[in-house]
């Protein structure tokens, strides 16, 4: 999204990578695996009671392995970050017991350390720093969030917890941008992310096999399999986390299938997209349904020629599929306030009324504090002052209205400026990549994912999501390839 000098993604013949053998990287990873297994075995036998800090022992060799590996293969840290955001969207690292710990935060710290070490090592030619315009445009909003949290937060601990994401995520994109340069490598990373998105599905399948739930007729296997996949892969505090993952992965899988010439690969990719669509259906999330519909519509609107026709076909197939399934059809009907006799409709209507109440409370909070808002992360704690029916702390379930309530006109102006810069940069990237047979479809898929994410922000608070920022670091390197114009 910004033009600048590029960083070589392969060994260039100068610097530390020529002096570090590959076996050191492999040995470091083996040491990490050994220490991890040892710590896990001790924890299983109860030998680590009271000394859980020993679980950090694998961190040192892991850091060495990452440093050596990224010196030889700079894109490795981005691959790991893509895996990390999938884990974060899934269950994160709650099992460690360390508050606010996520794989993405750990990898960000590692990436910053690697950049510092690469900069101070003598004899290494360091390329210029790349600064994506979209990440820079978010920094004023980040500063407003930080200042509001420090000045007005209802709880300092709660404010610190939630302000970490909007403050650090732009720097995550900037840091990861430095590890890429080649458009082909960026394209491979996008496809790799689509495959990484099946990690929760694979975990669910493994658990289903272990529990021996795959038994009986083929239809029974399919039904129980999808139930198991959602139960494991969709076991979130908020199912919208999994929806956000699908908003990016599904269009990538679909346009990858449209792009590849091999029919066997097309069948596999389309089957994977269909499987993720079935999981989306099992979330029973109306916001997820309409957000995915908007994403597929964005594919049709942003694409040209064959991609546009393919996008229109996807919209038609998706609409017919949603209307053909009674559960999804009846839940979508409730958006108009229409009650049917189907199971789950009463709960859906109650959820809709609750969301309306949250939006009303957020609007009242903005009316009372129109300039600076009520303070970052304060919508939930102060909601009881406006409605006695809200028995617990909550968010506004709408990113834009929540910003308006918490940060006032100052905050929403900064955020709209960021969105405007992001949209302009994305449109320029689309025009630049349009007609490239390899990069063009990938860019359209990512752009459609971002449009779906922005639309989904109408139904949930998406400021803490790491995924769009890691993909941004990849997206800025998607440029046309010589000889691929069609």
DSSP code string of 255-282: HHHHH-S-HHHHHHHHHHHHHHHHHHHH
Q: What string of DSSP letters covers 53-88?
A: GGGGTTHHHHHHHHHHHHHH-TTHHHHHHHHHHHHH
247: confidence class by pLDDT, cuts 50, 70, 90: very high
Q: What average pLDDT does range 104-109 have in this prediction?
A: 77
Chain-wide mean pLDDT for the chain?
76
Say if pTM beats, i.e. exceeds, 0.75. yes
CB 1 within 8 A of CB 136: no
CB 9 within 8 A of CB 75: yes
- The predicted-structure confidence for 385-396, as pLDDT tens digits, reads as follows 776 655 555 677
- The sign of the dihedral angle between the CA atoms of 175, 177, 181, 186 is positive
Question: Tokens representing 390?
Answer: 């809200």
- The predicted-structure confidence for 130-177, as pLDDT tens digits, reads as follows 889 999 999 999 999 988 888 876 666 666 777 888 999 999 999 999
pLDDT value of position 375 = 85
Q: Evaluate if residue 30 carries a pLDDT over 90.
A: no
84: confidence class by pLDDT, cuts 50, 70, 90: confident
If one compares 247 and 13, the residue with the highest pLDDT of the two is: 247
pLDDT value of position 33 = 58
28: confidence class by pLDDT, cuts 50, 70, 90: low
Helix axes 240-259, 183-196, angle to 10 degrees: 130
- The sign of the dihedral angle between the CA atoms of 221, 206, 257, 230 is positive
Cβ neighbours around 75 below 10 Å, total: 22
Residue 391 DSSP label: -
412: confidence class by pLDDT, cuts 50, 70, 90: very high
Q: Evaluate if residue 59 carries a pLDDT over 70.
A: no
Q: Return all residues near 89 (Cβ < 8 A) that are at least 6 apart.
A: 241, 242, 244, 245, 465, 466, 467
Cα 339 to Cα 160: distance, rounded to the nearest angstrom: 42
Cβ neighbours around 486 below 10 Å, total: 10
């Amino acid at each position: 999204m910004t033009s600048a000098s590029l960083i070589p993604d392969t060994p260039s013949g100068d610097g530390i990578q020529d002096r570090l053998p590959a076996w050191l990287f492999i040995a470091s990873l083996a040491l990490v695996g050994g220490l991890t297994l040892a710590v896990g075995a001790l924890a299983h036998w109860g030998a680590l009671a009271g000394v859980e800090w020993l679980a950090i022992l694998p961190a040192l060799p892991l850091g060495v392995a990452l440093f050596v590996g990224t010196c030889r293969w700079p894109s490795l840290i981005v691959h790991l970050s893509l895996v990390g955001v999938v884990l974060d969207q899934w269950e994160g690292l709650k099992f460690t017991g360390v508050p606010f710990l996520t794989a993405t935060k750990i990898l960000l710290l590692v990436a910053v350390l690697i950049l510092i070490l690469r900069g101070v090592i003598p004899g290494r030619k360091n390329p210029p720093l790349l600064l994506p315009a979209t990440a820079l445009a978010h920094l004023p909003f980040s500063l407003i969030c930080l200042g509001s949290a420090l000045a007005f937060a209802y709880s300092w601990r709660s404010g610190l917890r939630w302000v970490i994401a909007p403050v650090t995520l732009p720097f995550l994109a900037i840091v990861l941008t430095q590890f890429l340069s080649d458009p082909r490598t960026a394209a491979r990373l996008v496809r790799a992310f689509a495959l990484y998105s099946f990690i929760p599905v694979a975990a669910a399948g493994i658990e289903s096999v272990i529990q021996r739930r795959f038994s009986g007729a083929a239809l029974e296997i399919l039904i129980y399999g999808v139930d198991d996949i959602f139960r494991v892969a969709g076991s979130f505090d908020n199912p919208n986390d999994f929806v956000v993952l699908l908003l990016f992965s599904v269009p990538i899988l679909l346009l990858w299938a449209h792009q590849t010439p091999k029919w066997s690969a097309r069948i596999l990719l389309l089957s994977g997209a269909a499987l993720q669509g079935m999981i989306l259906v099992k979330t029973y999330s109306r916001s997820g349904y309409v957000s995915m519909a908007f994403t597929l519509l964005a594919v049709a609107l942003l694409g040209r020629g064959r991609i546009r026709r393919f996008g229109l076909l996807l919209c038609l197939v998706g609409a017919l599929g949603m209307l053909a399934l009674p559960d999804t059809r009846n839940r979508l009907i409730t958006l108009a306030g229409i009650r049917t006799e189907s199971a789950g409709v009463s709960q859906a209507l109650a959820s809709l009324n609750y969301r309306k109440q949250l939006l009303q409370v957020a609007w009242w909070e903005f009316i009372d504090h129109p300039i600076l808002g009520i303070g970052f992360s304060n919508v939930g704690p102060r909601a009881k002052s406006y409605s006695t029916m809200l028995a617990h702390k909550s968010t506004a379930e709408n990113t834009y209205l929540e910003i308006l309530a918490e940060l006032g006109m100052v905050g929403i102006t900064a955020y709209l400026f960021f969105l405007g810069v992001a949209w302009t940069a994305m449109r320029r990237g689309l025009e630049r990549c349009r007609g490239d047979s390899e990069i063009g479809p990938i860019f359209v898929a990512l752009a459609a994912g971002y449009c779906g994410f922005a639309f989904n922000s109408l139904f949930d608070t998406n400021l803490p999501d790491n995924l769009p920022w890691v993909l941004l670091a990849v997206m800025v390197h998607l440029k046309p390839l010589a000889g691929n114009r069609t």
